[in-house]
Structure 1
């Protein structure tokens, strides 16, 4: 090694190669400059680099044998055994050595050139595919901070980027909630993207050290798993909003093959106070938990956020959103009175829209406030505005579905609900509601598939079993409904709502003994009391039944529904004259909007019967006509409740159209109508003497008897 090193110095090989390296660097700089000012083929730069690298061993070999200087090229003398310089001819073996080095270097260079060229072609092909990508999911970012205490920031960042990307037109952005659920299930990013049916996924990591923030993002192609783009941002924590906007613009520019200028896609979450943003993100973390306690905590965080920055529009939206969820209502948490929650939420939304008039989330919450106040038309207007500003805002579609359903615009409602589930397929409410709606339209297989998938995604949830139980109940399979109810009860034994679901099919089958056995269980107390009158009917204890109802009516003189219930029991099993009086004398106590509850069109249809019996023809015709119009409207909207056909049978029977009434009754039974009280229904009294009517009643009775025996076995195991 000592001899070799001394020879390298003597033959000027080292100095020559240093000069060669300097020349190489200079040439590469020239290529870079030229490439930046004029069109140059993409392979020029790597080609020049490979040529210079492959020429390196050739140059080294030549410099060993020749002295290369500004004076020219001369043969380098060799040293004999006495270290005397001697010049030797560059002979055959020297030429063969040079040729070998040239061949090997050239072969290696060609191979690498081919690989680089292939990778560039593949990259260009991927880029072409990227330009056609129209969907993305932003996965929850991973907290890599030393203390692992920045999860709220990591999740909040992915949520904000999702919202930012959602504002880009013709671009589907999957909801953060679904991405988070699938991530928590341990699925890989590519699997998540395929499950959400998006072409790309954006992943990222967040590291906070003091006031320094380091974010690394990676965009993946879900079809082949290739990395399409990656970038690292290292800034001050206060620059997080600029990073969000930069990431959003980069993704949109790349995937939609367009140029979005700085300022065109800015984050609405921006605030001049970093502390306010931290409070907001902590509020979002509590909001995601969706419990009474967490929403109360979220409210406090959002209030702190807007206190720290009174101009913080996003903070006002978060506060308003939390307030509406804390209101009373079946799907809310019941902490605040509805009118108070709506007023407080509206105040905060007004503040948000003054500061950010184009914030989609603000219009969505504004629409929900209107929905809470039964202002459905204005609610839909606000939802449409939210969707216009952010076409990927899943919650706006879900809430819009509720308003459309209330206005009985059923086809539009289904379209909105489908879109909500497409954007947020792992949101249980979306899937559950879609399954319920599809079942209501008679698309039972589609509904079953949704509930089955829901069960796979959430094996500990009662929702899938509740949905399947409803399908079985709607199709007259009360045993199936009981089975699913039992599965749900095992998952949530203390859930009182499940007791209500169980008691319904049990009473349809007349299994009052089972219900009475369950009455001692705490979760069944409310349901048992609610259905106690039905139990008395099945046990034919009419004296106790009417004694209880008389007391209820006297104790609630201003409650029409108590009078209606008492009137209806009298109509079937008691005093008909009393029934007519109870059904009609306190109509002023009921709102018009409550008169025509579909699919039964109740209590209007029962009131119409009473009015006809009393000779109040004008009122009878008005109520009957309205019920008929609503029924036809729902049937045209492809709603296939068995109850609708039973409603048709009642309407035709009241109109004296016996043939049509019997056909409608038969169709209702074919679609699962199995109500035990059908044979007692006073609205079908005109059909009772007909053989066809008795045949239909026997079909119901026989099937109920069969199911009753099967259901008993379920409770004897």
Structure 2
């Protein structure tokens, strides 16, 4: 058989059409898998496995097309079918129809996929709208006063400049937590820029004497390590708010950004005494996060508002403080709810353009209204005002996470990490999102980074142990959970680990202590423990206790992997509906 005859025989046996039909079918199948994978929550390796199988089967299919033929009496070897009785021409026509039909389906799927990608692109605008070449970190200003009596003011001024710069859409501003982590550390600007991944650094100093402020700022281009602009102001203390705006506008101009009128809103001026008390109260709240610190900060913020009752930053700071007091048990749930809503409404009435107000109201909608959808909309409103506002990004990511939009939550949180790369809690939140999505390897990387940045952080080791446990690395998980500072969480996770290790005596001991000492506050964790122990009745009992006690952990109930075996059961679905969460 010469080459021409072989080619004709390939056509007669429909090898070409059979191969084309196989390729078209395979492409359509892979497109269907790509579209359905995020919907059915299939693992990332599933699509790759199908692709490998299809590639391996392709030569098998070609051989089948050559050696076998469909006849009126069924499938037979081609060599045993006389050419005059061959139905290959009819098979060829059927293959033509099959190819045309699947090509039409392929075109439809192509449009669906394009629409999906476009929707994802629109949804993830928050996450991808970063401009590293126009990025800046505002370092804490140094207090050069003789008695160092202006440390609150120096920190406050730097933070207010940072907050003003955040309002510039084109500028990526490193969050306070990461930028201020270099305070009092002998680290060069080049090294700081490398860690924070920024193109510019703004540093400054404050000196006060005889009610006169001398403020110096220096803008450094980090790639060349050159100072590209510096300026000094000498002003009376009462003019501090004007100084803040002057500095922010000068920085923006020297970064050669396209600034339109009022892109940096003018700050509502407060009385100097009120502002000084606010700065001190905020400093204590941010640096002494314990019961004594919360009470001292509350006292100072109240004194500030007694002088200027409409100073919005103080109102929102006090609202966040009361929410923290609720977490510490200083005030109860209902008292915290009433006070925080009053403060949020008063702040919005005083200034409807302050992004932090909407970020705070987003948190309240989540905690007190169980309205995840409303929380997300309020976060979006805050981001419309300030696209790089860290609080609003946190709330937007949290809402997406609780709504099951894992890709959006991760994408938004990546921007949070870009803006605040040295904040351990950000990596914890990212690890938790990956954990809920059952992406345990990614979760492990982020929780390890969180621990590296803050080795003594509460709950971190509990999440790390759960991540290891879900990978059946029980002995490793046991060593990790021993490092957890919070005893309740330590008992919760240890109970489960000992159970899987077959040590029921230690498992029961830990469980009994967990219930005896933490029944009122950690009903959700106890319910999750019983879920892992496969004790369904006690799981539902403790879920109900958590609901009665307004346990915030219940928000993650639809996502928590420990409840996966019960997810599709009618009783579980009925309990979820009972919670009345609005998504």
TM-score bracket for the superposition, by shorter chain length: 0.5 to 0.7
Match of 1:353 in 2: 348
Deviations 1:171-220, CA, capped at 9 Å, x for gaps: 11111111112335543333222211111111111111131111111111
Relative contact order, CA 8 A, sep 6+: which one is greater? Answer: 2
The structure-2 alpha-carbon separation of the partners of 1:625 and 1:528, relative to structure 1 and needing over 3 Å to count, comes to: closer
Partner of 2:391: 395
Residue 562 of structure 1 and its aligned partner are, at CA, apart by 11
Say whether residues 1:457 and 2:453 are aligned partners. yes
TM-score scaled by length of structure 1: 0.54
Match of 1:526 among 507, 513, 528: 513
| DSSP 3-state at the match of 1:168 | coil
Q: Aligned Cα RMSD in Å? A: 3.9
Deviation string, structure 1 residues 107-150 (Cα, Å, up to 9, x no partner): xxxxxxxxxxxxxxxxxxxxxxxx99411111111111111121
| 1:476 counterpart (467, 472, 475) | 472
Match in the other structure for 1:510: 502
Aligned to 2:180: 180
Aligned residue for 2:442, secondary structure, equals helix
Shift of 1:164: 0.3
Give the paired residue count.
433
1:12-161 to 2 correspondence within 5 Å? 133-161=133-161
Q: When the two structures are superposed, what TM-score results if normalisation uses the length of structure 2?
A: 0.66
The answer to whether the Cα contact below 8 Å between 1:421 and 1:430 also exists between their aligned partners in 2 is yes
Q: What secondary structure does 1:426 align onto? A: coil
**What are the equivalent positions in structure 2 for 1:108-507 lying under 5 Å apart?**
133-258=133-258, 265-268=264-267, 270-271=269-270, 273-289=271-287, 290-327=289-326, 332-373=327-368, 374-461=370-457, 465-486=461-482, 488-489=483-484, 492=485, 495-507=487-499
Task: Indicate if the aligned counterparts of 1:320 and 1:349 stay in contact, CA closer than 8 A.
Answer: yes
CA distance in 2, matches of 1:463, 1:571: 24
CA distance in 2, matches of 1:178, 1:567: 38
- The structure having more radius of gyration, on CA atoms, is 1
Distance in 2, matches of 1:469 and 1:258, equals 48
Q: 1:244 and 1:436 mapped to 2: Cα distance? A: 37
SS at match of 1:228: strand
Deviates more, 1:341-350 or 1:186-195: 186-195
For the 8 Å contact 1:193–1:222, the answer to whether it is kept is yes
1:337: Cα distance to partner?
2.3
Classify 1:338/1:402 alpha carbon distance in 2 versus 1 (closer, same or farther; 3 Å).
farther
| C-alpha distance in structure 2 between counterparts of 1:402 and 1:176, whole Å | 20
The CA deviation at 1:339 is: 2.9
Residue 601 of structure 1: CA displacement? Answer: 5.4
Structure 1 pair 507–202 and aligned structure 2 pair: CA distance change class (3 A): same
Aligned residue for 1:326, secondary structure, equals: helix
Residue in structure 1 matched with residue 6 of structure 2 by the alignment: none
Go from structure 1 to structure 2 and tell me whether the alpha carbon gap of 1:444 and 1:269 turns closer, same or farther (over 3 Å shift): farther
Deviations 1:208-251 (A, max 9, x none): 11311111111112222111111111111111111110110011
The structure-2 alpha-carbon separation of the partners of 1:515 and 1:259, relative to structure 1 and needing over 3 Å to count, comes to closer
**Residues 511 and 383 from structure 1, CA distance in 2 versus in 1: closer, same or farther, beyond 3 angstroms?**
same
Provide the rounded CA distance (Å) in 2 between the counterparts of 1:245 and 1:364: 23
Residues 601 and 182 (structure 1 numbering): CA distance in 2 closer, same or farther, change over 3 Å? same
> Residues 439, 366 of structure 1: CA spacing in aligned structure 2 closer, same or farther, 3 A cutoff?
closer
For 1:442 and 1:571, how far apart are their aligned partners in 2? 22
SS at match of 2:232: strand
How far apart, CA to CA, are the structure 2 residues paired with 1:357 and 1:561?
39
Aligned equivalents of 2:440, 2:528: Cα separation in 1:
33
Residues 1:564 and 1:333: Cα distance change in structure 2 (over 3 Å): closer
Structure 1 gaps, min length 5:
1-130, 533-558, 573-578, 610-621, 627-717
Q: Deviations over 1:30-69 (max 9, x none)?
A: xxxxxxxxxxxxxxxxxxxxxxxxxxxxxxxxxxxxxxxx
Q: Distance in 1 between the 2:276 and 2:528 partners?
A: 54
Aligned partner of 2:29 in structure 1 is none
- Single out whichever of 412-421 and 472-481 deviates more from structure 2: 412-421
Call closer, same or farther: CA 1:593–1:361 in 2, change over 3 Å.
Answer: closer
Is the Cα–Cα contact under 8 Å of residues 494 and 507 in structure 2 kept in the other structure?
no
Partner of 2:89: none
Tell me how far apart the structure 2 counterparts of residues 569 and 451 of structure 1 sit (CA, whole Å). Answer: 25
